[in-house]
Homo-oligomer: A and B are copies of this chain.
Amino acid sequence: MGVVVPLDEARAAGERLAPLLELVNEDMNAINRIILDKAVSHVDLIPKLTHHLVNSGGKRLRPMLAIASSKLCGYTGQGHVKTAAAIEFMHTATLLHDDVVDESDTRRGHKTARLIWGNQATVLVGDFLLGQAFRMLVDVGSLAVLRILSNAAATIAEGEVMQLAAAKNTATTEDAYLSIIDAKTAALFAAASEVGAALAKRPADEEAALRSYGRNLGLAFQLVDDALDYGGDSARLGKSVGDDFREGKITLPVILSFRRGNDQERAFWNRTIVEGKIEESDLQEAIRLMKRHNAIADTLERARSYGSIAHDALAIFPDGSEKTALRDVIAFCISRAH
């Protein structure tokens, strides 16, 4: 384990994000300032815990989508910056609660907040950040944006509860799994992409197009993430490989392998994922079974297919640097797996 993705390939994936980064660069600086500013509280623990997570190397993809979609829609006001910061806070709040629910010890290679400050503080600071997010959205003053993001907040939580109910259930269907990631991951991508049209008061078809773009991008993103946890299509072992396996998470590669496997293989999945009895060589064995059944390749195939829907969703917008940047995000998400 610990074999890192070759630098040139990682760079190649990163270069796909370059147009987006250039497009949003100035606004992202403002967003980063707001994030630091709004995490301030006379209660010490709140900024400490927030900074820990905010500075732990996330890509801030969701706020970048909000900025880019605002620009695509020709929005000329200032509300997109606070909206984007609020979206990052909502995402951060979700991560904090996720880590508590999953009992995770590491995230992006760092110790989780719950391991440093405990589950209790982590739950409560998550609540604070969600409250701050809505405060910021009220400042922006668009009821349309508030509607999009309050829907997203409820849907994300619903998705997390669905995931909890499906936990350790190897019989989860692909459909049921897609409903889960549609809610817990794609809903915020969809909302982040839609807010640009809402802020710019664009017609309903443009709002729907951006929503569809974000949703399908989010599905692709999550499926690639699932595949990467088992090494992606080359089964290279990066530093986060095996996290889902060790936490007994049901993801699409597991679902496909379980359904396509024989009795002996299902016994393997039940022992490892359901009962949590994992030995040294089991991750390698899991990857071997996945490769036998094309489970990783097919997961990535699904991701490409959602990516293609996201690509087409943008067709109604005029060509230009914003559209290119948003489409390159799809390519970036997919190419992470190679």
Contact = CB atoms under 8 A, between A and B. Distances in A.
B160 A124 contact: yes
A204 interface: no
Interface string A196-216: 000000000000000000000
One complex includes copies of this chain to the number of: 2
Contact of A135 (B150, B161, B165): B150
A155 interface: yes
Contact of A161 (B45, B137, B164): B45
Contact of A131 (B101, B135, B153): B153
A165 B121 CA distance: 9
A13 to B, nearest CB: 32
B130 A153 contact: yes
Interface residues of A, number: 41
Contact of A158 (B46, B123, B151): B46
A336 B120 CA distance: 31
A128 interface: yes
A305 interface: no
A164 B151 CA distance: 30
Given A134-B134, A158-B41, A158-B128, A120 B101 contact: yes
B131 A161 contact: no
